[in-house]
Chain A
Amino acid sequence: MKDEIRNILRDHARLAAAIDSIGDDTDLYQAGMTSHASVNVMLALEGLLDIEFPDRMLRRSVFESISAIDRAVEELLASR
């Protein structure tokens, strides 16, 4: 799943650095992802995995790292 998240981040997060240099716990906002870009990341994940992030998950902390996104996605996939 983290590879899929990385692909989406590469296409939509507009990070300043190459995606390979981003660790699982790197702060994505510090790496250059804007809140606008995070919306696109969320939409791409929803489209790819056929999930919906509920409003309670629409928070900065949920998208702050690859690990955090992975936890949220796994939770949504498990409850499907």
Chain B
Amino acid sequence: MVTSTLDRPDRLTAAHAPPKISLLDRARRVAIETARIHADDVDKQARFPREAIEALRKEHLLSAGIPRELGGGGADIVELGTICEALAQECAATGMIYAMHVIQVACIVRHHANAPFFGAFLRDICERQLLLASVTSEVGVGGETRTSIAAVVREAGRYTVEKNATTISYGAEADALLLTARASANAAPGDQVLVLLCSGEYSLEKKSNWDTLGMRGTCSPAFHVRASGPDDRILPVPFATISSETMVPYSHILWSSAWLGIATSALARARAFVRMQARSKPGAVPPGALRLAEASSQLQLMSNNVYEVADEWHRLTIRPDAEHDDALSSIALALKMNNLKIATSQLVVDIVNRALSICGIHGYRNDSTFAVGRHLRDAHSAALMVANDRIYNNNASLLLVLKDD
């Protein structure tokens, strides 16, 4: 397990000092005491997991990824991953919403370049436990997040922007949105900026429903977004940089962590089922035990993949210097991040399938303690969150120039 940075003496003022137990313990408490209880209802009703998100607020976990000097939990990527995993074990929608929020926060933390507005906003997240959502999708760009049609118009110290988003996860429930758009009306499709849409400075018009196979609690319908506000809401770094240095790596690591939670939970049910079988006939190894041994090896493969890549990212980012910066922007690392996403999005479905075959009809039933139907439906979202074929295509072109030297 990861050593928590929270074990260090707390330098925060008493006003927003978080509880003294570790971030991961607090996340486990939210997962077990709240997320678990509502997970089936969240799934059945396709509703926002408001109880679990409220519990995360109470535990100060929405600011876990913000540096301690700003009032946050100071968690690194590995710790953030363990939190996503712990939450997703009980409610995948909660784990994925948390992951997506943390990714948005990281984009601001790592790229606000000491802009006063964003420094104040990060403190605001800590004090008010604000939930951030992302508006990277757009009708007409074919799923390519590095391309925008919508453009920011700047005039007299203010910006305006309008965007047709194909999906905004928990858009209606978020306290603020981070939106991609072209830097100006004349900018090329790939010349994008990231704009923070603060509460009161945007409106959302819902354009579709959210009735999906899985991840139903993320509530991610299409919206038409209109926003206007002071132009210091625009992050001072091009989105191209934010995307490659933070949004993509954080997404792949934290999504994979959430999927690891789904796989771990399904396999836990299969293990409980096999133990129950074994107890009913002591001396005879139950038929599912062999399948369980196979699945356990797959789970270890998945877990090692997630934590190895998260650890490498952490090592490269903890002490920024020229050599580490080169490694961070290298094609080899981009390839590794992409491979992580592809591998874990496939492994999660594979492992949940194995759990289903082990539990048999008890796994297939929705009213059984060994039910893995929700896990299976949630797991199938993984290959679609940035389609694996798109990522394979990117890797195919990266491999044309990578020399391995």
Binding site for B on A (CB under 8 A): 15-16, 29-36, 39, 42-43, 46, 52-56, 58-60
7 contacts between A and B (CB under 8 A): A30-B191, A31-B188, A33-B190, A34-B147, A35-B146, A36-B394, A39-B397
Q: How far is the CB of A50 from chain B (nearest CB, A)?
A: 15
Binding site for A on B (CB under 8 A): 146-147, 183, 187-191, 238, 240-241, 244, 326, 329-332, 394, 397-398, 400-405
Q: Are B397 and A34 in contact (CB under 8 A)?
A: no
Question: Given the known A-B contacts A29-B240, A30-B188, A34-B146, are A58 and B397 also in contact in the complex, defined by CB atoms under 8 Å?
Answer: no
Question: Given the known A-B contacts A29-B190, A32-B189, are A55 and B400 also in contact in the complex, defined by CB atoms under 8 Å?
Answer: no
Separation of A53 and B189 alpha carbons in the complex (Å): 27
User: Which of A16, A30, A33, A56 is in CB contact (< 8 Å) with B326?
Assistant: A56
How many cross-chain pairs have Cβ atoms below 8 Å apart between A and B?
Answer: 57
Q: How far is the CB of A76 from chain B (nearest CB, A)?
A: 12
Which residue in chain B gives the minimum CB-CB distance to A30?
A: B191
Contacts A32-B190, A32-B191, A36-B397 supplied; 8 other A-B pairs, CB < 8 Å: A30-B188, A31-B188, A36-B394, A39-B397, A39-B398, A43-B400, A55-B330, A60-B241
Interface secondary structure of A, over-half rule: loop
Separation of A55 and B403 alpha carbons in the complex (Å): 6
Question: Given the known A-B contacts A29-B190, A32-B191, are A59 and B329 also in contact in the complex, defined by CB atoms under 8 Å?
Answer: yes
Which residue in chain B gives the minimum CB-CB distance to A46?
A: B401
Q: Are B331 and A55 in contact (CB under 8 A)?
A: yes
Which residue in chain B gives the minimum CB-CB distance to A15?
A: B188
Q: Which of B189, B190, B402 has the most CB of A within 10 A?
A: B190
Q: Are A58 and B331 in contact (CB under 8 A)?
A: yes
Question: Given the known A-B contacts A34-B146, A58-B331, are A39 and B401 also in contact in the complex, defined by CB atoms under 8 Å?
Answer: yes
